[in-house]
Structures are given as structure tokens and as C-alpha cells.
Amino acid sequence: MRKIQLLMLFVLSAIIFQGCKKDVVTSASTTSDQILAATINGTSWIPDDVTATITYDAATKTKSFDVVGTIDLKRVKWTVTLSDAASATNVNSFPLSTYRVDTTARVKMAYYTSTDGTSYAQVGTVEPGSGSIIITSIDPTKNVITGTYSLTAKKVNYNDDGTISSIETSQILGGTFTNLPYTFNVN
């Protein structure tokens, strides 16, 4: 009988303590509220200047999705170009898919830095397999697009004699674009 009373006391205490836990408070500004964000070399990056366009080029029969985000002397830029007749149509949409940097020019991704805020220099290159963009949803009525992205840019520095002195890498990880407004253009 004593064991049952102790067990009941323990269960009742656990319930009371569980009810007294502090509520978790989350900030109103979460990643889902940000239209473009990432982590650049371990530091949170949320650009204040973002442009996104989907452009259909009637002359070349291509469609491209271009994004540029800039803040604090850092810029991330990418372009996905479609040239197949089924995807490159004169319609305000873009296929939901994973687009990877490969040996073609279909997906271009780059990371830039600036010292003065007016001119930006590309930091290394994004080699095949080192970058991707995943488009998970698009609403052509509201002109917003959602997905994720990541890239690693590598810059090789050489000595005067042509030997490698160092290799710098810049990682843009955990990138998101959430309900990113875009414009649709036909050229």
C-alpha cells in the first residue's frame, strides 16, 4: 500500500511540475517571415535588398529564374535557365524541381563581397556539385516563389611561381526563399 501511495505522489508531483514549466516564447521574426535568408560562413544573413525575376526570352526560347540578395557588403546571386520546350514557355510559372550546378551553364550561382558597397567582386567559383536550388512551390497569381538553396564557393590563391598558396571556401548554407515576390517578364 505504501508503494502505491509513493507512486501516486510521484505521478502527481510530475504532473504539477510539468504544468509549471515556462512557456517557450518565440520571436515574431522567424525564418518563415524572411523572404530570403541563409547562413554565410556560420553567420546569419538576411538581405535587405532582394530582386527576383522569371523571364521568358522569345528569341532564344529560354526561361530564367534570377535572384539577387544584398546586405552588409555581401551578395548572393543565382540564375536557373531552362531551354527545353516543355519548361521554357511563355507562361508565368517555373517548374518545381531541384536544380544543381553542373558542367552546363544551366545553373549559375555566385557569392560576392564588397569593400565600398558599390562594386562587388565574385569570391571564387561554385564548381559542379557545389550548389543547388530547390523550388518547392510557386503561386503565379500572387507572383511568389518558395524553396531552398545552398552553395560553396572556392577560391584558389597562387604563388608567383604558379603553385597553390591557399584555398579559401565560402559556404552559404541553409538558404531559404519563402514567398519571395518576383516579376514575370517577356522579352
| 108-164 pLDDT tens trace | 999 999 999 899 999 999 999 999 999 999 999 999 999 999 999 999 999 999 999
Q: Is residue 51 part of a domain?
A: yes
Residue 5 CB-half CA count within 13 A? 2
**124 lies in a domain?**
yes
pLDDT for position 117: 86
**179 falls within a domain:** yes
Q: Please give the Cα distance from 128 to 106 (Å, whole number).
A: 11
Q: Is residue 23 part of a domain?
A: no
Q: What share of the chain is helix, strand, coil (3-state, %, to 5)?
A: 10, 50, 40
Please give the grid coordinates belonging to residue 183: 516579376
Q: Is residue 17 part of a domain?
A: no
Q: What pLDDT score does 160 carry?
A: 96
29-86 tens-digit pLDDT = 333 458 999 999 999 999 999 999 999 999 999 999 999 999 989 999 999 999 988 8
Neighbours of 124 (CB within 10 A): 18
**Which residue type sits at 10?**
F
Q: Decide if 53 is inside a domain.
A: yes
Residues 109, 151 contacting (CB under 8 angstroms):
yes
**Is residue 2 helix, strand or coil?**
helix
Residue 5 located in a structural domain: no
Tell me the HSE value of 178 on the side-chain side, using a 13 A CA sphere. 12
For 39, counting Cβ atoms within 10 Å of its Cβ (0-12 exposed, 13-18 middle, 19+ buried), the class is: middle
Q: What are phi and psi of 18, to 5 degrees?
A: -65, -40
Give the count of domains, the chain. Answer: 1
pLDDT score of 33: 57
**3-34, pLDDT tens digit by residue?**
445 444 444 444 443 444 333 332 233 334 58
Instruction: Determine the pLDDT at residue 6.
Output: 40
Check whether 105 has a pLDDT greater than 70.
yes
What's the number of CA atoms in the CB half-sphere (13 Å) around residue 143? 12
Q: How many CB atoms lie within 10 A of CB 25?
A: 5
Q: What is the mean pLDDT of the chain?
A: 86
Domain housing 166 = 38-186
- pLDDT for 2 equals 52
Does any domain span residue 172? Answer: yes
Residue 178: pLDDT over 80: yes
Cell 548554407 belongs to which residue?
173
Alpha carbons 187 and 103: distance in angstroms, whole number = 27
Q: Which of 141, 150, 148 is nearest to 182 (CA)?
A: 141
Of all residues in the chain, the percent with pLDDT exceeding 90 is 78
